[in-house]
């Protein structure tokens, strides 16, 4: 049997990789990809806890499904924003889009 | 070490390696392909966790929809950052430091909690009817009917919103 802590450790490592990607990448599409990595790490956590702690309830799977739907909506709106910014400013570099920067 | 554990370790190593490549690859199309590899590894993990339905959803929604959407966006915005110049901003080391600190904090907490045996493991098998139960719970007012409706509204608003945002306004003139 695989220990629960292995799943949690993998998910923590994956989340950290995603955090690094969000903070360090220049390209906005790459930042979105890193966000997807982080959402996936959370999903592993949810399903692992469901499998090991409450296998007779459905809450873990229901939460994971909601995360899927939110991730889909987030990707659609985020990519639409990037394409709109690209059309107006000819750039997808996150630090060049600084109109609202204080 | 059992076969399941070896499978997990191999899949976990593959997931981590491709995730690191997602955030470090210079070519964005390569990064997107590594992202697909990562997502596929997650689907295998869901199978190991006996959540076959979620594995199927992972392949259909993540690989089939989100990854394709990302590749489309990369191709539509391609001319700008074509593999020239650094792909990371000037504060990449700060981000790396923060990510490492986060990982260390989580690992420390996990180690402490695991040592105390704080996870009340259920040790009962997953019932065969869990998928049917999930379906019933999603439409039952006592469980997740309202979240399901909210998710439906969110997806509809997201779809309309992304069309409205991405539409070329010069077409109207």
Closest CA of chain B from A73, distance in Å: 5
Q: Residue B77 is nearest to which of A34, A86, A94, comparing CB atoms? A: A86
pLDDT in tens, chain B (173 residues): 788 888 899 999 999 999 999 888 888 888 889 999 999 999 999 998 888 888 999 999 889 888 888 888 888 887 655 556 667 777 888 888 998 999 999 988 888 887 777 777 777 777 777 888 888 888 888 888 898 999 999 999 999 998 888 887 766 55
Chosen for mutation from A14, A46, A59, A90 (greatest number of chain B CBs closer than 10 Å) is A14
Closest CA of chain A from B117, distance in Å: 11
Whether B100 and B108 have beta carbons less than 8 Å apart is answered as no
Q: Residue A58 is nearest to which of B65, B81, B134, comparing CB atoms? A: B134
3-state secondary structure A61-72: HHHHHHHHHHHH
Q: How many CB atoms lie within 10 A of CB A62?
A: 20
CA gap B152, B103 in Å, rounded: 34
Closest CA of chain B from A99, distance in Å: 18
- Asked if A97 has any chain B CB less than 8 Å from its own CB, the reply is no
- Rama region for A90: left / alpha / beta (φ>0; ψ in -120 to 50; rest): left
Whether A63 and B146 have beta carbons less than 8 Å apart is answered as no
Question: Which residue reads 């959540």 in tokens?
Answer: B51
Four-CA torsion A11, A17, A18, A21, nearest 10 degrees: 180
Tokens of B63: 């690989």
Whether B8 and B48 have beta carbons less than 8 Å apart is answered as yes
- Rama region for B2: left / alpha / beta (φ>0; ψ in -120 to 50; rest): beta
Predicted-complex ipTM score: 0.89
Whether A42 and B123 have beta carbons less than 8 Å apart is answered as no
CA gap A62, A67 in Å, rounded: 9
CA gap A50, A43 in Å, rounded: 11
Q: What angle do CA B10, A39, B73 make, to 5 degrees?
A: 100
In chain A, which among 9-68 make CB contacts under 8 A with chain B?
A: 9-10, 12-27, 29-30, 32-34, 36-37, 40, 43-44, 47-48, 50-56, 58, 61-62, 64-66, 68
Nearby residues of B139 by Cβ (< 8 Å), 6 or more positions away: B145, B148
CA gap B127, B12 in Å, rounded: 26
Residues of B in contact with A61 (CB under 8 A): 51, 53-54, 130, 134
Q: Residue B87 is nearest to which of A25, A62, A91, comparing CB atoms? A: A25
- Summarised one tens digit per residue, pLDDT across range A21-77 is 998 888 888 899 999 999 999 999 999 988 888 888 888 888 888 999 999 899 999
């Amino acid at each position: 049997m695989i220990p629960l802590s292995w799943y949690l450790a993998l998910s923590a490592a994956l989340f950290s990789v995603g955090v690094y990607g969000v903070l360090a990448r220049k390209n906005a599409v790459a930042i979105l990809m890193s966000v997807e990595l982080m959402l996936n790490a959370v999903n592993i956590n949810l399903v692992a806890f469901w499998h090991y702690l409450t296998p007779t309830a459905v809450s873990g799977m229901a939460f994971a499904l909601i995360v899927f739907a939110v991730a889909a909506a987030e990707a659609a709106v985020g990519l639409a924003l990037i394409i709109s910014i690209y059309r107006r400013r000819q750039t997808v570099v996150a630090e060049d889009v600084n109109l609202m920067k204080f | 070490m059992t076969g399941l554990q070896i499978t997990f370790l191999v899949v976990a190593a593959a997931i981590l390696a491709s995730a690191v490549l997602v955030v470090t690859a210079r070519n964005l199309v390569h990064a997107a392909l590594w992202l697909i590899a990562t997502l596929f590894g997650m689907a295998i993990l869901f199978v190991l966790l006996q959540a076959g339905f979620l594995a199927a959803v992972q392949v259909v929604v993540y690989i089939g929809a989100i990854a394709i959407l990302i590749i489309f966006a990369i191709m539509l915005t391609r001319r700008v950052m074509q593999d020239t110049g650094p792909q990371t901003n000037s504060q990449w080391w700060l981000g790396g430091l923060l990510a490492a600190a986060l990982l260390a904090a989580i690992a420390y907490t996990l180690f402490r909690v695991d040592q105390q045996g704080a996870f009340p493991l259920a040790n009962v098998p997953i019932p065969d009817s869990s998928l049917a139960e999930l379906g019933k719970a999603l439409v039952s007012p006592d469980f997740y009917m309202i979240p399901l409706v909210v998710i439906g509204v969110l997806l509809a608003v997201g779809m309309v919103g992304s069309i409205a945002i991405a539409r070329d306004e010069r077409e109207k003139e």
